[in-house]
Amino acid sequence: MKIALIGYGKMGHAIEAMAARRGHTVTCIVDRGAESGEWRVVSGEWKAEEIDVAIEFTTPATAVANIRRCWAAGLPVVCGTTGWDAERAAVEAECRQGGHTLLASSNFSIGMNIMFALNERLAELMRGRTDYSCSITETHHVHKLDAPSGTALTLQRQIVERGGRSANEIPIESIREGEVPGTHTVVYDSKIDTLTLTHEAHSREGLALGALLAAEYVAGKKGVFTMKDML
């Protein structure tokens, strides 16, 4: 599979290394100029006919424009950028109407997506149990631009939908320290006991692997997909 990397930060580098291990080729790397912020090819050439899929990890301010630019070139997009939820519904509708391809996720880690499934089931079991308060804590590296993380917001949304709680009943604490890849914890606390559900990433490798598995999945497909579809 021939891949275009959109965004060449720490995740871009991790995906590049993982792609080589899985036998894929990164044919083009696009990043933003440090001063101008303009789309800039830093490696290879931007030739759509030589690209099978684009993997996008940039910033909330640039993600949607990047997705549309890839669609204009006829490329399916795997997007791991978070913080653009306000535009998500419109972008997905545009994807369906235009016959494009998008798989966007707040977290590509297989382990985290298993936690999403556990979180939904736990929320159902805790539904109506007002003796338990619920909270979420997420910890990431100091370079992360959005807070709360997209993953924490996904966990919160699941609890709202499956557990019947309002969002303001589920506070999210965001911690930014060091080079932490990502730790997410859901806590149900009562006077009697505490129930904790945690996912701790040890490196970016799990995220890179998940993004590549998603790219392999969407190749040749049209429409809007999720990690649930892939799994």
In the sheet with 133-140, reading across from the earlier edge strand, the strands are: 172-176, 133-140, 183-189, 194-200
Residue 136 backbone phi and psi in degrees, to 5? -130, 135
CATH no. of 2-108+205-230: 3.40.50.720
Tell me what pLDDT residue 112 has: 95
Tell me what pLDDT residue 36 has: 60
Tell me what pLDDT residue 35 has: 56
Whether 228 is catalytic? no
Tell me what pLDDT residue 146 has: 83
The residue from 10, 13, 141, 144 that is catalytic is 144
CB neighbour list of residue 111: distance below 8 Å, 6 or more residues apart: 199, 201, 206
Tell me what pLDDT residue 172 has: 98
What is the token pair recorded at 155? 């966990």
The sign of the torsion formed by the CA atoms of 228, 13, 201, 107 equals negative
Same fold, 2-108+205-230 and 110-200: no
Q: How many residues does the chain have?
A: 231
Whether 191 is catalytic? no
List % helix, strand, coil for the chain (3-state, nearest 5): 40, 25, 35
Return the domain boundaries, the chain.
2-108+205-230, 110-200
Tell me what pLDDT residue 39 has: 85
The residue from 24, 100, 140, 199 that is catalytic is 140
The structure's pTM equals: 0.85
Which listed CATH number (3.30.360.10, 3.40.1550.10, 3.40.50.720, 3.40.50.2300) goes with 110-200? 3.30.360.10
Q: Answer for the pair 178, 42: CB distance below 8 angstroms, yes or no.
A: no
Tell me what pLDDT residue 143 has: 85
Torsion of CA 57, 61, 65, 67, to 10 degrees: 30
Q: Which of 164, 173, 98, 86 is nearest to 126 (CA)?
A: 164
Per-residue pLDDT of the chain (231 residues; tens, 9 = 90+): 999 999 998 899 999 999 999 999 999 999 986 556 678 899 999 999 999 999 999 989 899 999 999 999 999 999 999 889 899 999 999 999 999 999 999 899 999 999 999 999 999 999 999 999 999 999 999 988 788 998 999 999 999 999 999 999 999 999 999 989 899 999 999 999 999 999 999 998 999 999 999 999 998 999 999 999 998
